[in-house]
Amino acid sequence: MAQLLTVSRAAHLIGVSRGSLQEKIGSGDLPSFDGMVSTEDLTRLFPDIRLEDSGAFERITKIREEAFGKRVRERVLPNQEILAQRLAAQGEELEDVRRHLAHYHDLIEALRERIDFMAGESPSEQLLTLADFVDDGLASVLGSEDPVDTVAVMDDMMRVVAAHVTVKPSGREFFVEGNETVLKAALRAGLAPSYGCGNGNCGLCKARVVSGKLRQIHHTDYPLSTVERDRGYALLCSHTPVSDIVIEMLEANSAEDIPEQHVVAKVKSATPLDTEIMLLHLQTPRTNRLRFLAGQSVTLGVTGSSGEFRAEYPVGSCPCDDRNLLFHVRRDAGDEFASRLFDGAVKNGDAVSVWGPWGDFVLRKDSTRPIVFVACDTGFAPLKSLVEHALAIDATDTMVMAWAATRPDGHYLANQCRAWAEAFDRFRYLPLQAADPAAAGVAAVRGVVAEVPNLADFDVYVAGSAAFTDAAVNALRAAGVADSNLSSIAY
Ligand code: FES
């Protein structure tokens, strides 16, 4: 018998994006029942999916991780105890189904006997027809040799290794893999949950478990009250699910929902990307991570013998990895922080203060429109963060990255863009060259217009110097992009 799955779950199993399944639902190719799709219809639409091919989900995840250049890779099978509990939960479910089936079978047998009894007392055409109907029905069920529902079997396997989480009231869904905490999995899936320390001390990640079971996997110092425990509250940073769960969780809806923070991070590395750009990798303490939205900026500060040097930079990494913060710092004689970095005065292990996050240059909430990113030089950094976030939440299937450089060979992370374009069918990368930022703005939009004829249907994000963003925004308006679909950041 076919099972019904949510679109997110089906997309994970088949290894396609949620957007492409939704497209098939919209075109009528995939029937949907209250937002659910059946395993039978999925098998019909994706006949090549096989059990031995059940790595589809892992495959797409791997592509995404590689495309992101993600560092954290401890997503493996759950530990034995969690695995045992998830199997036990499935066993209970199976037992329930068996009990119900046995009950219905007894009922049908009793009904059949009752028909025989009534037919014996006063035989009638209707009773004999009814008896034949029940006999045929029983014979077809008991003698059924329906083919194995591959997608349903894959779903059962998936439940053991990855628990499914539904968030209320947003309705967002994600999977918790291996021994991840619910918080970590939510961040990886691109959600913006409420949290603070990530370490069981602050209580900010507390959420109510509406259904399903959690198990504590990390020690916590934050004391939940008895009333909170009785109501099903738990700390998401220290628990993992042992079954599919539904939780009520606070999420940031906009940049205003993220509090200002001060974190003292350490320099993990400073690596030249070319002669003019330095990749600065900061790592926060485990107990004091930076909560931010993709596209936001922070102020960095280092202290030297002649005082403190501060500068504001966009974060060039994904909020899903909140301990590892990446920045693309440009050589600039007027920027003391950058000068010290290029001079080698900022060394691995040095403390760097991080204040923020700042700004509302973030993805438009709940928009599923296709996206164009337009960058000039290090304007690529906040757009990289937005691309990683858009990929994590499956925001849209179609993305275009137009990156204009004002220096020869100024596309210092071209490989990253090519990896996205190779991993995702509908990701296009347009590298462009221009003499100066204003010319880059015009050239980038001209390139985008040639590539995307229906530009007015896209959300457009522009980042670079003021001269670049002014030129690009004017050109985009002239090309028919409404201000409501246009975001820009100049720095
Ligand atoms: S984030 Fe602080 S207790 Fe969970």
- What per-residue confidence (pLDDT) applies to 344? 93
Three-state secondary structure along the chain?
CCCEEEHHHHHHHHCCCHHHHHHHHHCCCCCCECCEEEHHHHHHHCCCCCHHHCCHHHHHHHHHHHHHCCCCCCCCCCCHHHHHHHHHHHHHHHHHHHHHHHHHHHHHHHHHHHHHHHHHHCCCHHHHHHHHHHHHHHHHHHCCCCCCCHHHHHHHHHHHHEEEEEEECCCCEEEEECCCCHHHHHHHCCCCECCCCCCCCCCCCEEEEEECCEEECCCCCCCCCHHHHHCCEEECCCEEECCCEEEECCECCCHHHCCCEEEEEEEEEEEECCCCEEEEEEECCCCCCCCCCCCCEEEEEEEECCEEEEEEEECCCCCCCCCEEEEEEECCCCCHHHHHHHHCCCCCCCEEEEEEEECCCCCCCCCCCCEEEEEEHHHHHHHHHHHHHHHHCCCCCCEEEEEEECCCCCCCCHHHHHHHHHHCCCEEEEEEECCCHHHHHHHHHHHHHHHCCCHHHCEEEEEECHHHHHHHHHHHHHCCCCHHHEEEEEC
**29 within some domain:** yes
**365 within some domain:** no
Residue 303 shares a structural domain with residue 238: no
Q: How many CB atoms lie within 10 A of CB 357?
A: 23
Please give the backbone phi and psi of residue 141, each rounded to the nearest 5 degrees, phi first. -70, -50
State the distance from the centre of ligand 1 to the C-alpha of 206, rounded, in angstroms. Answer: 7
**pLDDT of 376-414, one tens digit each?**
999 999 999 999 999 888 888 789 999 999 999 899 999
- Ligand 1, residues at Cβ distance < 6 Å: 195-205, 222, 235, 237
Give the pLDDT of the chain (491 residues) as one tens digit per residue.
667 787 877 877 777 777 778 778 888 888 888 778 888 888 888 876 654 444 444 444 554 555 444 443 444 566 767 777 777 777 777 777 777 777 777 788 888 888 888 878 777 877 777 887 888 777 766 666 666 666 777 677 666 677 899 999 988 999 898 788 999 999 988 899 999 988 899 999 999 999 999 999 999 999 999 999 999 999 999 999 988 899 999 999 889 999 999 999 999 999 999 999 999 999 999 888 999 999 999 999 999 878 899 999 999 999 988 899 999 999 999 999 999 999 999 999 999 999 999 999 999 988 889 999 999 999 999 999 999 999 888 888 789 999 999 999 899 999 999 988 887 878 999 999 999 999 999 999 999 999 998 999 999 999 999 999 999 999 999 999 999 999 999 98
Residue 130 shares a structural domain with residue 225: yes
Q: Which amino acid is at 301?
A: G
Handedness of CA 49, 55, 57, 62 (dihedral sign): negative
- What per-residue confidence (pLDDT) applies to 65? 55
- What per-residue confidence (pLDDT) applies to 69? 46
Residue 181 shares a structural domain with residue 293: no
State the distance from the centre of ligand 1 to the C-alpha of 6, rounded, in angstroms. Answer: 29
- What per-residue confidence (pLDDT) applies to 101? 76
Query: Which of 222, 251, 280 represents a domain boundary (last residue)?
Result: 251
Residue 409 shares a structural domain with residue 348: no
Looking up tokens 């913006």, which residue turns up? 192
- What per-residue confidence (pLDDT) applies to 74? 44
**364 within some domain:** no
Q: Ligand 1, atom 1: nearest CA belongs to which residue?
A: 198
Residue 294 shares a structural domain with residue 414: no
- What per-residue confidence (pLDDT) applies to 62? 52
Residue 101 shares a structural domain with residue 180: yes
Query: Which of 35, 68, 101 represents a domain boundary (last residue)?
Result: 68
CATH of the domain at 102: 3.10.20.30
Contact 311, 355 (CB under 8 A): no
Residue 99 shares a structural domain with residue 38: no
Neighbour order of strands in the sheet with 371-376: 427-433, 399-405, 371-376, 459-464, 486-490
In ligand 1, which atom is closest to the CA atom of 195? Answer: 1
Looking up tokens 């991780």, which residue turns up? 65
How far is it, in rounded angstroms, from Cα 85 to Cα 201?
A: 27
CATH of the domain at 384: 3.40.50.80
Can you give the residue range of the structural domain that contains 403? 371-490
Contact 65, 72 (CB under 8 A): no
- What per-residue confidence (pLDDT) applies to 50? 55
**438 within some domain:** yes
How far is it, in rounded angstroms, from Cα 193 to Cα 258?
A: 10
**74 within some domain:** no
191: tokens are: 């959600």
pTM comes to 0.76
**73 within some domain:** no
How far is it, in rounded angstroms, from Cα 83 to Cα 159?
A: 10
Among 484, 318, 486, which Cα is nearest to 393's? 318
**366 within some domain:** no
Residue 385 shares a structural domain with residue 321: no
In ligand 1, which atom is closest to the CA atom of 236? Answer: 4
Task: Among 180, 235, 249, 289, name the best residue to mutate to test ligand 1's pocket (greatest count of ligand atoms within 8 A of Cβ).
Answer: 235
- What per-residue confidence (pLDDT) applies to 346? 93
In ligand 1, which atom is closest to the CA atom of 222? Answer: 3
- What per-residue confidence (pLDDT) applies to 453? 87
CATH of the domain at 328: 2.40.30.10
**261 within some domain:** yes
Query: Which of 32, 47, 68 represents a domain boundary (last residue)?
Result: 68
State the distance from the centre of ligand 1 to the C-alpha of 196, rounded, in angstroms. Answer: 5
Which residues lie closer than 8 Å to 337 by C-beta, 6 or more apart?
300, 301, 302, 309, 310, 311, 329
State the distance from the centre of ligand 1 to the C-alpha of 323, rounded, in angstroms. Answer: 14
End-to-end Cα distance, the chain: 58
State the distance from the centre of ligand 1 to the C-alpha of 444, rounded, in angstroms. Answer: 43
Residue 183 shares a structural domain with residue 265: no
Residue 319 shares a structural domain with residue 421: no
Residue 383 shares a structural domain with residue 482: yes
Domain count across the chain: 4
Residue 247 shares a structural domain with residue 260: no
State the distance from the centre of ligand 1 to the C-alpha of 267, rounded, in angstroms. Answer: 24
